[in-house]
Every structure is written in structure tokens, then in C-alpha cells.
Amino acid sequence: MANCIRCGRQLPGFSFGKKICQWCVQHEAYQRGEIVEDAKQPVMRTPWVRHGESSISVTHVIFGINAAVFLGMVLGSGDPAAFANPMHQFPIQESIEWGANAGQLTLAGEWWRLLTNVFVHASLLHIGFNMWCLWNLGELCESLYGRWTYAAIYLMCGLGASLTSATWNPDRPSVGASGAIFGLAGALIAAFKLGEFSVPRSALSGTLRSLGAFVFYNLIFGFLPGIDNAAHIGGLITGLIVGALIALVAPHSDQPLRRVAIFIAMTLALAGVAVGAAHYRKSSFMDRQPGGGIAQLEKIVKQRPDFIPGHLSLAQAYFTQGEYARAENELKRVLELDPKHAGARTLLGMVYLNESVCKMRRKRSTRC
């Protein structure tokens, strides 16, 4: 972070191009007579000072967890290209093993993936950009909300982002902290807009402009291939809701019970959405109709052997029934017809992963 050229304080995150902090700007305005002498100035805990707290912040802890997981993936893969080439991405199956948010698995009951994927990244460039954003937004958010509230907001936004991604793109695994980081931006926008923190007007408008630019440009970039914009939007909306509720119901840090109630209510709301999404996903599979769904699909692909959606739907039906060998055959047929079909590649990786788990269980004489 840059420092103010007047007083030496650290400038808040996303203060690109600025050289003077907002407090020095206000002081100079007072000296010029632009602010009346008896104007009330609320005391605000400054973002660059921590009172009586450890030098290790929650942002540092989150940063360390992400770095440790990425290092573990590099060492586990034994592929030095993960460090040598910033654009090198881990295989889909490996990301799934480390906790990627694969909608087919998540909505089938592996709910822990909604959280673990927030700490998994696909490449060195991916984790580098996300951690840079986290360092700036996280430090600002933590200094304003306090440690435990900030940690709860981060995790809540990560869950909201992951749930949106799993529901919107169930056939594409998702990893990364960007959804949770978008949530932090949303929480800050809601907080500043609703007046939770008392800051000078110049500082408020500048911070809102920076946050708005961050959200706008990253959402635009999110439409590029390979970027999960559903997670970004889900995290942003979750952050806006959480930030607004805190600003309206529990704006002060000495109201812990109110804040706990907010997070409990948000958790229940997200759980309800998750159950609803899983139920919808479950009921949408034709194979849930005893025997009839799979039989109908088998009839369709027999009549139309080049019909890709039919083979893919049949593979999904076999997958949910645990018939992995049959699912594998159907997916290979899809890839013969369309070698670049991303959904088929993703589901095939899940099939291989489940087949390996079943083999291990058979060796231990347990039911697959």
C-alpha cells in the first residue's frame, strides 16, 4: 500500500493515484476555512491502526491458507510447471480432489465443497490476482468491521458465491476466492452507502468510486472464457445483503448478538436455497422416475446415435445411479462427437474420481 506524503499514514486499499490521505485533505480544507470551526467530526477507527490486537490479521490467515493449499497442490502434482508458468492450470480431476465446487457432486450431498473451493486455485496467476485483491479489500474491510465480523462476512460471501455457481453451472467445477472477495466489495459498498461508518465526504465518494470500478471491470472481465462470473455475482449479492443488514440492524461493534442473529439468518437462508437447488436438480433428472427415465434415454440414443444431449443426459443419469462404467462409455461417445465438449470432460473427470474411490472401498471390503 502507498503512504500519505503529508503524514505518512498508509492509504486505504484501492487508492490508486492518490498521494494524500482523506484526513489530510480535510485538515487542509479546515485551514482554508472551508469547514466551520465547530463542525462535529465523529471519531473513526482508522484503517491503518490496530489497537491492542496481534499484528497477524484475519486477512493474513486467509492469505496463508490459500498459499498453503496452492503449495500443497503443486507438491502433490509433482509438476514444476505450476510455478514456472503462471498460466499453467491444474487438471480438473486434481482440483476436484482438493475440494473444487463441482455442482454434480456438491448438490448431490458433498456440501463441504461450497467452502473448500474458496481456498483452491487453478493456477499461479489465478491465486496471485485474487490474493492481491484480498490484501487490499480485506485489510480495509477488517479494519472497519473488526476481526470476527469480517471473517464471518468472508465465509458467508464465499458460500453464497459457491452456491450460485453450483446452481448456475452444475457441469463446470469452480475454484477460487474471487466470489468471497466480490462479497467483501459488496459489503463495503452497502455499508458506506447506508452510512454505517462516519468518514469525510471526500473519502466516502473516493472509496465508493474505487469499489464501483473494481466491481464493474471485474464483472466485465468475468465474461471471458474460463471465468466463473456466476460466483462473482453470487458473492457480490450476498455481500450487499449482509452489509446492508449489518448497517441497518447492528452498525456498531458493541452489538454482537444482533450480528450473530444476522449471520444465523443468512446461514439459514443459504441452506434453504441449497436444499431447493438440490431438490430441483434431483427432480430434473429423468432417471428419478423408476426405470422409465433411463429406459427412455436409452431409446433416444439408440434411435439417434449422434444426438449429443441424449448421450450426455444418459451419462448424467448413469452417474447419479452409481453406474460409472456406463456413464464413462456415454461420455466417451460425446467426446468422439465433440472433442471440446467441456461438460462431458468435467463429468468424465468426476466419473474417474468416483471409480477410483469405489476401487479403494472394494479393497477394504466396504460397499461402494
CA distances from 156 to 200, 212, 233, 278, 302 (A): 29, 21, 14, 19, 46
Choosing from 121, 126, 232, 341, which is the catalytic residue?
232
Is residue 125 a contact partner of residue 81, using CB atoms and an 8 Å limit? no
Is residue 236 a contact partner of residue 167, using CB atoms and an 8 Å limit? no
Picking from 205, 194, 208, 204, the residue whose alpha carbon sits closest to that of residue 244 is 194
- SS3 assignment, position 56: coil
Q: Give the cell for residue 297.
A: 434415454
- Side-chain half-sphere of 117: how many Cα atoms within 13 Å? 33
- SS3 assignment, position 18: coil
CA distance 128 to 134: 10
* Other residues' Cβ atoms within 10 Å of the Cβ of residue 305: 11
Q: Give the cell for residue 252.
A: 456498531
Is residue 101 a contact partner of residue 173, using CB atoms and an 8 Å limit? yes
Q: Report which DSSP code applies to 75.
A: H
Q: Hunting for cell 453406474 — which residue is that? A: 323
How far the first Cα of the chain sits from its last, in Å, is 52
Question: Does the active-site annotation cover 356?
Answer: no
Q: At what angle do helices 201-221 and 229-249 cross, to 10 degrees?
A: 160
Buried b / exposed e along 38-66 (16+ C-beta atoms within 10 A): eeeeeeeeebbeeeeeeeebbbeebbeeb
Choosing from 15, 178, 210, 313, which is the catalytic residue?
178
Q: Give the cell for residue 352.
A: 474417474
Question: Does the active-site annotation cover 178?
Answer: yes
Catalytic residue ranges: 178, 232
